[in-house]
Amino acid sequence: MKNIVVFLGAPGAGKGTAAAAVAARTGARHVSTGAMLRDAVARGTPAGLEAKSYMEAGGLVPDEVLYRMIAELLAATPDPATLFFDGFPRNEAQAAKLDELAAASGATVSSALLLDVSREALLERLGGRRVCPKCGAGYHVKALPPKVEGVCDACGAALVTRVDDQPATIARRLEVYESATAPVIGFYEKAGKLRRVDASGTAEEVAALVEKAVS
Ligand SMILES: [Zn+2]
């Protein structure tokens, strides 16, 4: 059986980190949309070549191309296998399409894990990020503070907050996520496949809960 587990979670919920950690431990395959795209382009698959032409033109890869890429991936995956989808589906239409693509290649979407974190915790996680404009080193005011507040350990430059990590941008990113993902959550809830995982703890704690939920 080819088994697909969909990972859902807001920016900052840590779904990519958890999916990668649990995949490494359990032998599941972590399929992030970005990595799948890069891999298909690098290998020159038919869908990869098509995606490449859109990317080179500076445009977004259309859903139809993404769907063909997923179909290629599922067809090339040996049976049995467990795949962790991270970054897809992003809306209800994609969720419905994933069920179709899975069925067409003898796979099943067995569950959707929602990594649950409160809005406050997300704001703290994302808003605490600092970066060194000179050497690119990354910090977090709570989770990974520099030795001297506001100063890069490596080169001594003053740390900055990226535009992406400023409160107004974070609020907008969370709103975009919520409006697109709420219907996806509803889709899997209706199908009886939604599982909520408390993702408020450390990366290790979250990975342990995710591992339990998928085993
Ligand atoms: Zn630096």
If you measure from the C-alpha of residue 133 to the centroid of ligand 1, how many angstroms do you get, rounded to a whole number?
7
pLDDT at 84 over 90: yes
Provide the mean pLDDT of the chain. 95
DSSP per residue over 175-196, as a string? HHHHHHHHHHHHHHHHTT-EEE
How close are the terminal C-alpha atoms of the chain, in Å? 15
pLDDT tens-digit map of 27-74? 999 999 999 999 999 999 999 999 999 999 998 899 999 999 999 999
Q: How far is the CA of 157 from the centre of ligand 1 (A)?
A: 5
For 194, phi then psi, to 5°, come to -80, 130
Of residues 87, 70, 95, the one with CA closest to residue 2: 70
Region 156-174 average pLDDT: 93
Which residues participate in catalysis according to the annotation? 15, 90, 129, 162, 173
* pLDDT for res 82: 97
* Residue that the structure tokens 């005011």 belong to: 141
pLDDT category at 215 given cuts 50, 70, 90 is confident
What pLDDT does 64 receive? Answer: 96
- CATH for 2-117+180-214 (3.90.1150.10, 3.30.230.70, 3.40.50.300, 3.20.20.70): 3.40.50.300
Phi, psi values for residue 81, rounded to 5°: -160, 155
Q: For residue 80, is the peptide bond before it cis, meaning its omega torsion is within 30 degrees of 0?
A: yes
Flag whether pLDDT at 185 surpasses 90: yes
pLDDT digits (tens, 9 = 90+) for 6-40: 999 998 899 999 999 999 999 999 999 999 999 99
Predicted TM-score (pTM) of this structure: 0.89
* pLDDT, mean of residues 188-211: 96
Residues of the chain with CATH 3.40.50.300: 2-117+180-214
Q: Which of 111, 145, 112, 150 is nearest to 133 (CA)?
A: 150
Q: Are 109 and 193 in contact (CB under 8 A)?
A: yes
- Whether 80 and 62 have beta carbons less than 8 Å apart is answered as no
Q: What separation in Å is there between the alpha carbon of 72 and the centre of ligand 1? A: 42
**Parallel, antiparallel, or unpaired for β 107-116 and 129-131?**
unpaired
Per-residue pLDDT tens digits for 91-150: 999 999 999 999 999 999 999 999 999 998 999 999 999 999 999 999 999 989 999 999
Distance 111 CA to ligand 1 centre (A): 42
